[in-house]
Chains A and B, each alone.
Chain A
Amino acid sequence: MTPLIFFIASIGAIAGAVGVIALRNPFYGVLSLVGHLLCLAALFLLLHAEFLAAAQVIVYAGGVMVLYVFVVAYVGGSGESLGASHGWLRILTPVFVGVLLLELMVATLGSGLKAIGTEGADIQASFGSPAEIGELLLTRFLFPFEVASLLLLVAAIGAVGLARRRSGFTVGDAPLDAAARSVSPPKGSGTMAEAAGDRPVFGGKVGDQ
């Protein structure tokens, strides 16, 4: 049963990875990456990393990918312009990637570690459980844990600072704030004023019917 799950999950993960670079529309690329991450979580489960698999699904496939989808929707998932300006890069890339693949294969599979050909060391049932991960994080790896929290705080502040609307930002001559206020909500958007009937609904007065 394990080999079957492994091959399905790994083929799914590789197909998802190929989809990310093969699909022109970034939106479909993000969806492909979600599939890739879910397959990777299945591989983590096979490796007895239950907590990591759950974190992968919730944090990555859930949280980070939602962020991606929002930004793709905001920036616009237009197909990218494929320039022929870097023709030499297009020829060189497959060569470089092939060499990289070969080198990594040699480095990992040819490393001479005897345990690579086995299913891994004997482990207890608690291996990879939230209890064990939590204990490791709060005892042996307390410093990396605290540094990670600081890093997340800095990244959050940095992202807010980067994406913040500058105070001098204007549309035309009017400040954006005033421009936004002058625009009335679109018709038929279900506001309470519409329901009360003092605003035209779908282009006509309510009383017209």
Chain B
Amino acid sequence: MNIGWYLAVSTIIFAIGAAGVLTKRNALVILLCLELMLNAANLALVAFSRMWGNGDGQIFAIIVMVVAACEVTVGLGLIVAIHRRGLVVDADELSELRG
């Protein structure tokens, strides 16, 4: 398959993830959609790595996976802490910081 096909799939997945981050209110689902966007970027990196026949892109993708794992642990820790305080895990309700 041509590399362009992989890039097209990666683009579509990234757009779906971006739509989810923008419209969803549940913080858990926002984290899931962030995963989608990171994975789309990973697919593009691996496709480019294959295109050049060079392993550097795959190393980049592995580092992205590490960063995604860190983001998930901290994000889920925050959600658990929010839940412990008796607050609703809703991105629209949690607006004390006026962000």
Contacts and interface: CB of A to CB of B under 8 A. Distances in A.
Q: Do A and B come from one complex?
A: yes
Interface of A: 2-3, 6, 10, 13-14, 17-18, 20-21, 26, 29-30, 33, 36-37, 40, 43-44, 46-49, 51-52, 55-56, 59-60, 63-64, 67-68, 71-72, 74-75, 80-83, 85-86, 89-90, 93-94, 96-97, 100-101, 104-105, 108-109, 113, 115-123, 127-128, 132-133, 136-137, 140-141, 144, 148, 151-152, 154-156, 158-163, 165, 169
A20 B5 CA distance: 22
Contacts of A85: 92
B9 A133 contact: no
Interface residues of B, number: 72
A13 to B, nearest CB: 6
Interface of B: 1-20, 22-26, 28-29, 31-33, 35-36, 39, 42-44, 46-47, 49-56, 58-59, 61-63, 65-74, 76-81, 83-84, 89-90, 92
Nearest to A9: B9
Nearest to A169: B84
A162 B23 contact: no
Contacts of B12: 14, 17, 101
